[in-house]
A and B are shown apart, each in its own frame.
Chain A
Amino acid sequence: MASTGNRPARDFGLGLLALAVFGAIAPWIGLYPVFVMKALCFAMFACAFNLLLGFTGLLSFGHAAFFAAAGYAAGYALKVWGWSTLAGLGFAVVCAGMLGLVVGALAIRRQGIYFAMVTLALAQMVFFVFLQSRFTGGEDGLQGIPRGDLLGLIDLSNDLNLYFVILGVFLATLAGCYRIVHSPYGQVLKAIRENEPRALSLGYRVDRYKLLAFVLSATLCGVAGACEAIVFQLASLTNVEFVISGDVLLMTLVGGVGTLLGPVVGSFVLVAMESYLAQFGSWVTIIQGSIFLICVMAFRAGIVGEVIKFLQRRDDRSKARMAEGALPSST
């Protein structure tokens, strides 16, 4: 009986282990490390987004701003100031968190569609700032960002070395998300998602919880964005475009909103589609659109969501059977 209480923890642990094993062997089964790194960065991004949408019920249309801001911050610190990779990463994450604080403080004053519109508007303002500022390189982007090394020990210009560092960061981020979601704080977030007035009536200072969730989400987006900039040695305007905010929503929905591993699966699906269907040019967006439609119409819980539902149904059935078998003795 006690095992049912730990069920999510055990499942998540297994999932994390499976991801770690898959990640460790991926470069040797013909997967191109740079491609997997890109997918991992977007997986972190989607997990951060999911923290807000899936667990707090806040739909933001402006997450690209945090992702890109961190990329530029990391790039600038590494390239212009010559900081070490870890310091640059830390700086970028702090920048994204601060931006999240500003955007979040304004946005959480409104709910639903108005919340989404405020985040979108602020993200577009951020886009304009990055387009016009000299330090971002405008249309050319911030090019030639050095990858540096890890504590002077590991040379990150080697793709494989960097790959394992990114994999580590990714697993830590995922574990962090799990920790947040399953903490008492995470329970309050879920309560807010389910019924905000009720959470308020129970004495929770809902706005503070929401703001903290927003800042945490932005901070984790920052980890993703900084890693992406370090992998590609480039921070460009593409990442701050509205399309990216849409993509991350799509990743989360396809994978399974409100599940921890869903965004990971979703981002792999979308990044793979983008890479392998690239030769079809503008058809990619049409294919993406169709997949989105199929997902919303046929399996609304997303890939991982449907798997979880299936497992639960099987679980319930076997429990019911056990209960039936146990019935005569218990009465």
Chain B
Amino acid sequence: MNTTLCNAVGTALVAIGLAASGAASAQAQSKLSGNAIRIGVLTDLSGLYSDISGQGSVAAAQMAVDDFIAANKPGYKIDVIAADHQNKPDVGSGKAREWYDTQGVDLIVDVVNSGVGLAAAKVAGEKKKLMINTGAGSTRITNEDCNPYSIHWAYDTYALAAVAGRAIVQGGGKSWYFLTADYAFGQSLEQDTTGIIKTNGGTVLGSVRHPLNASDFSSFLLQAQASKAQVIGLANAGGDTINSIKAANEFGLTKSQSLAGLLVFISDVHSLGLNVAQGMQLTDGWYWDLNEDTRKFGRRYFEKMKKMPGMVQAGTYSATLAYLNAVKAAGSDEADAVTAAMRKTRYNDFYLRNGHLRDDNRMVHDMYLMQVKKPAESKYPWDYYHVKATVPGDEAFQPMAASRCPMVKKT
């Protein structure tokens, strides 16, 4: 009698224990909404920034997902979807809203174009879902317009100014004139660079603003020429930078004045050719030919895209993988938990050197001052840069003390 009773009680206890553990594991799993992670790459697939991000970013995010699955064999599904925001803030924020609301998207990455990036970040903040911006540059993302759900990963306009801008002023380029793309990114870049120029004893003679994706730079360049400034700062990016550098060469501006491309990507150098681009100093967050790890990633990407990745595409890989690892560490895809897990991590991988996520959601990591090689110095395809200096993250990025982010001031 007793033994059967004991057995029965024992069985019941085991059953309860099993049920409880079953419930616990179900709970752990149910923390992932829909038991799946979906990553949306919101980018420019057709316009002037499609070379620096575009399909390459989509491929990079997919690579990160594949690598994570191969390494961790997670019990949940992970997939990547992509959309073209056409460089329009309304299209981009509309897409972000739709993705978060109806597609079960947990993370949006890339979001090149600061105007679109800022508009989409507002949606992320409102929906309390994560966005990691690896494409846009405006410092507003982590300052005036910061929110807890929008993270800025690869670079920003302050870093561009603080690395290459400072190097050019210290190298003797004291008087500047800006050719600025007339939207959030260009304005940020001009403002941040102006600050760096002034603190280093230089002067800014003026600026002319051109529309995004301008077709004809002649009148703007003539104004820049008439200013007689030593340096013409190009506060634009992608197709606009390529076109303005080409036009400046055709007009012969480069004989008397020097051009400073404040944001030049390796794909831009590839398009321009070393003959045109040689000698130019620029800021980069990553270069495929830095070391064995970066070369390994570069070659894998090259196999897929037939181009070498730039800092945005590799940054999209880095951010996607960091996100997936943080989800694993947090055991949840809830944005606050994931961000907290990211903040605890010190990053040192093929992309981020001495990286950490600051309280203003700025990913701080080492940046590089590059100089474009002369054609004779380039030994193999895509061998474009001399690494002139490695700038520690704390010097390259805006110090926290100067932050204009209300989120930071509260704490």
Contacts and interface: CB of A to CB of B under 8 A. Distances in A.
Contact of A143 (B83, B98, B118, B182): B118
Interface stretch (A7-15, A231-239, A246-254, A304-312): A231-239
Interface stretch (B85-93, B166-174, B227-235, B306-314): B85-93
Contact of A279 (B83, B145, B183): B83
Interface residues of A, number: 23
A234 B89 contact: yes
B46 A282 contact: yes
A143 B119 contact: yes
Contacts of A152: none
A236 B90 contact: yes
A279 B94 CA distance: 14
Interface string A152-167: 0000010100000000
B102 interface: yes
B111 interface: no
Contact of A232 (B84, B93, B183, B184): B93
Q: Which of A34, A131, A141, A279 has the most CB of B within 10 A?
A: A141
B122 interface: yes
B102 A239 contact: no
B83 A140 contact: no
A90 interface: no
B183 A143 contact: no
A236 B88 contact: yes
A320 interface: no
A141 B212 CA distance: 13
A308 B179 CA distance: 58
Given A141-B89, A141-B115, A32 B102 contact: yes
Interface in A130-157: 131, 138-141, 143-144, 157
Contacts of B46: 281-282
A140 B91 contact: no
A32 B98 contact: yes
A139 B185 CA distance: 10
B93 A139 contact: no
B211 interface: yes
B45 interface: yes
A278 interface: yes
Given A140-B114, A140-B118, A140-B184, A239 B90 contact: yes
Given A34-B97, A34-B101, A143 B88 contact: no
B88 A238 contact: yes
Contacts of B88: 236, 238
A67 to B, nearest CB: 13
Contact of B101 (A32, A38, A143, A282): A32
B212 to A, nearest CB: 5
A159 B119 contact: no
Contact of A139 (B45, B98, B211): B211
Interface in B71-111: 83-84, 88-91, 93-94, 97-98, 101-102
What's the dominant secondary structure at chain B's contact region?
Answer: helix
Interface in B100-138: 101-102, 114-115, 118-119, 122, 126
A238 B115 contact: no
B79 to A, nearest CB: 15
A156 to B, nearest CB: 12
A139 B90 contact: no
A34 B93 CA distance: 12
Q: Which of B45, B89, B183 has the most CB of A within 10 A?
A: B89
A143 B122 contact: yes
Contacts of B83: 278-279
Contacts of B84: 278, 281
A74 B84 CA distance: 28
Nearest to A279: B83
Contacts of B122: 143-144, 233
Contact of A159 (B101, B114, B182, B212): B101
Nearest to A141: B89
A282 B89 CA distance: 18
Contacts of A35: 98
Q: Which of A35, A140, A143 has the most CB of B within 10 A?
A: A140
A138 B210 CA distance: 12
Given A139-B212, A140-B114, A281-B84, A234 B183 contact: no
B45 A281 contact: yes
Interface string A22-56: 00000000001011001000000000000000000
A145 to B, nearest CB: 9
Interface in B146-187: 182-184
Contacts of B98: 32, 34-35
B231 to A, nearest CB: 25
Given A34-B97, A138-B183, A233-B122, A143 B102 contact: no
A239 B90 CA distance: 9
A157 B126 CA distance: 9
A233 B90 CA distance: 9
Contacts of B91: 238
Nearest to A235: B90
B101 A232 contact: no
Given A138-B183, A140-B89, A278-B83, A234 B119 contact: yes
Nearest to B138: A140
Contacts of A282: 46
Contacts of A234: 89-90, 93, 119
A17 B101 CA distance: 29
Interface string B50-85: 000000000000000000000000000000000110
B90 A232 contact: yes
Contacts of B93: 143, 232-234
19 contacts: A34-B97, A35-B98, A138-B182, A138-B183, A140-B118, A140-B119, A141-B90, A143-B119, A232-B94, A234-B90, A234-B93, A236-B88, A236-B90, A238-B88, A239-B90, A278-B83, A279-B83, A281-B45, A281-B46
Interface of B: 45-46, 83-84, 88-91, 93-94, 97-98, 101-102, 114-115, 118-119, 122, 126, 145, 182-184, 211-212
Interface of A: 32, 34-35, 38, 131, 138-141, 143-144, 157, 159, 232-234, 236, 238-239, 278-279, 281-282
Given A140-B114, A144-B122, 20 more contacts: A32-B101, A32-B102, A34-B94, A35-B98, A38-B94, A131-B211, A139-B115, A139-B183, A139-B184, A140-B89, A141-B90, A143-B89, A232-B90, A232-B94, A232-B97, A233-B122, A234-B119, A238-B90, A239-B90, A279-B83
Q: Which 9 A-B pairs have the closest CB atoms?
A: A139-B183, A140-B115, A236-B90, A141-B89, A140-B184, A144-B122, A238-B90, A143-B119, A236-B89
